[in-house]
Amino acid sequence: MSTVARTAARALPALAAAALLPLLAGCGGQEAGGAAAPEGWGTLETERLSVAYPGGYRELGEAERGEHNDAAAVLTEGGRTTGMVSVQLDFMKAGDADMAATGAEARVQLGATPTGREDVEVEGTDEARRIDYEFTSGGERGTPAKGTRMRGVMVAGLDSRDKAFLVTVDTVEGGLSEADLDRIVGSVTVR
């Protein structure tokens, strides 16, 4: 893998790695729960969690995805990473899904705009939270051009070992439809 692609693979999650004003708590819930990956999609498999990623994305090997991600897939266009789906197991110590979600929110980059937080059903766990946000790319090497509007979705909760997990989807605005984002969230399965 080229240095640019490797840097992009590490940099896109960094777009959502600083502190953010606390997200507003949403209400309601979303039906989900371990749906099979749609035709043409791939699946990131980890020891304790799996999640689907869209066709066109490429799964990264251990050396490519950086030390904090247990699995990741990226979409690269014109030498820039324009989308990423990543999984982090044990990303923090948390006693419940709300605490895991609050820890996830703290990882979103400063200046992001919160657009929602809600309960979501995830197969294999009693509670999980979906966090939606928008931000602007800073144009770091290998990431979308500076000023590009980005969309982010996180799913946080506790896995079967009561360890916090985090699934993150970052994409250029309009890069994935709402239905595709819902499919990704709906595919998260805890073992």
Instruction: Give the other-Cβ count within 10 Å of 179's Cβ.
Output: 8
24 pLDDT higher than 60: no
Q: What is the pLDDT of residues 70-125, one digit of tens each?
A: 999 999 999 999 999 999 999 999 999 999 999 999 888 677 888 999 999 999 99
Q: What is the DSSP letter of 138?
A: -
Backbone phi, then psi, for 184, in 5-degree steps?
Answer: -65, -50
Q: How far apart are CA 33 and CA 121, in angstroms?
A: 5
Q: Which residue has the higher pLDDT, 54 or 37?
A: 54
Q: How confident is the model at residue 35 (pLDDT cuts 50, 70, 90)?
A: low
Domain at 3-190, CATH from 3.40.1000.10, 3.40.630.10, 3.40.640.10, 3.40.109.40 = 3.40.1000.10
Instruction: Give the other-Cβ count within 10 Å of 54's Cβ.
Output: 23
Mean pLDDT along residues 63-72: 93
Instruction: Give the other-Cβ count within 10 Å of 123's Cβ.
Output: 16
What DSSP string describes 82-96? EEEEEEEES-S--SS
- 53, β-bridge pairs: 42
- Residue 2 pLDDT: 35
**CB-based contact 72:43 (threshold 8 Å):** no
Q: What is the pLDDT of residues 122-178, one digit of tens each?
A: 999 999 999 999 999 999 999 999 999 999 999 999 998 999 999 999 999 999 999
3-state class of 47 per DSSP? Answer: coil
Q: How far apart are CA 134 and CA 40, in angstroms?
A: 27
Q: What is the pLDDT of residues 45-64, one digit of tens each?
A: 999 999 999 999 999 999 99
* Burial track 55-80 (b if 16+ CB lie within 10 A, e otherwise): eebbbbeeebbbeebbbbbbbbeeeb
Torsion sign over Cα 54, 76, 68, 151 = negative
10 pLDDT higher than 70: no
Q: How confident is the model at residue 18 (pLDDT cuts 50, 70, 90)?
A: very low
Structural domain boundaries of the chain?
3-190
Task: Please tell me the pTM assigned to this model.
Answer: 0.81
Using alpha carbons, list the distances in angstroms from residue 121 to 45, 81, 155, 161.
Answer: 19, 29, 10, 18
Query: Comparing C-alpha atoms, which of 105, 94, 98 is closest to residue 22?
Result: 105
Q: How many residues does the chain have?
A: 191
